[in-house]
Chains A and B, each alone.
Chain A
Amino acid sequence: MEIFGDWTLRVVALGAGLLGAVSGFLGSFAVLRRQSLLGDALSHAALPGIALAFLITGSKATVPILVGAAVTGWLGTLVVRLIVQRSRVPYDAALGLVLSVFFGLGLVLLTVIQKRPDAAQAGLETYLFGQAAALLRADVIVMAAVAAVVLLVLMLAWKEMKVLTFDRAYGESLGLPMARLDGLVTALLVVTIVLGLQTVGVVLMSAMIVAPGAAARQWTRRLGSMVTVAAAIGVGAGVSGAVLSSIVPRLPTGPTIVLILSGVVGVSLLMAPERGLVWRRLQLGRLRGRPRQEPVLMHLHALSLQHPDDPDHGHEVSVLRTMSPADIDVETALTALAERGLAASDDRGLWSPTELGRREAQRTLARLDLGDNR
Chain B
Amino acid sequence: MMDASVVPAVEVEDLTVAYTGSPVLWDLDLQVAPGTRTAIVGPNGAGKSTLIKAVMGLVEPVAGAVRIFGKPGREVRGSIAYVPQRATLEWDFPTDVLDVVTMGTYGRLGWFKRPGPSESAIAEAALEQVEMSSFAHRPIAQLSGGQQQRILLARALAQNAEIYLLDEPFQGVDAPTERAIVRVLDDLATAGRTVVVVHHDLQTVAEYFTHVALLNVRIIAAGPVSTTFTEDNLRLTFGGRVGVLAARTARGD
Contact = CB atoms under 8 A, between A and B. Distances in A.
Given A157-B111, A220-B94, A167 B84 contact: yes
Contact of A223 (B89, B95, B143): B95
Interface in B85-109: 88-90, 93-96, 99-100, 103, 106-107, 109
Given A174-B78, A374-B142, A166 B95 contact: yes
B84 A169 contact: yes
A175 B94 contact: no
Nearest to A158: B114
Contacts, number: 91
Contact of B100 (A160, A166, A172, A217): A166
Given A167-B89, A172-B58, A173-B77, A162 B103 contact: yes
B210 to A, nearest CB: 24
A306 interface: no
Given A87-B20, A163-B106, A217-B94, 13 more contacts: A32-B94, A165-B93, A167-B89, A167-B103, A171-B106, A172-B58, A174-B103, A174-B107, A175-B78, A221-B94, A221-B95, A222-B96, A371-B175
Contacts of B57: 172-173
A88 interface: yes
A175 B79 CA distance: 10
Contacts of A222: 94-96, 99
A174 B77 contact: yes
B167 to A, nearest CB: 10
A174 B80 CA distance: 8
B64 interface: no
A111 B234 CA distance: 66
Interface band, chain A: 20 to 34
B115 A176 contact: no
A173 B89 CA distance: 15
A49 to B, nearest CB: 30
A32 B90 CA distance: 8
A334 B55 CA distance: 61
Interface of A: 32-34, 86-88, 156-160, 162-163, 165-167, 169-176, 217, 220-223, 225-226, 371, 373-374
Given A159-B109, A169-B53, A221 B139 contact: yes
A220 B106 CA distance: 24
A202 to B, nearest CB: 29
Contacts of B146: 373
Contacts of A223: 93-95
B162 to A, nearest CB: 14
A173 B90 contact: no
A88 B20 contact: yes
A225 B144 CA distance: 24
Contacts of B88: 169
B14 interface: no
15 contacts: A34-B90, A86-B20, A87-B20, A159-B103, A162-B95, A163-B103, A169-B56, A171-B106, A173-B82, A174-B78, A176-B107, A223-B95, A226-B94, A374-B142, A374-B143
B45 interface: no
A160 B106 CA distance: 8
A159 B93 contact: no
B176 interface: yes
A371 B96 CA distance: 21
Nearest to B102: A159
B174 interface: yes
A283 to B, nearest CB: 13
B68 to A, nearest CB: 12
B125 to A, nearest CB: 19
Given A159-B106, A217-B94, A221-B94, A173 B100 contact: no
Interface string B59-93: 00000000000000000011011101000111001
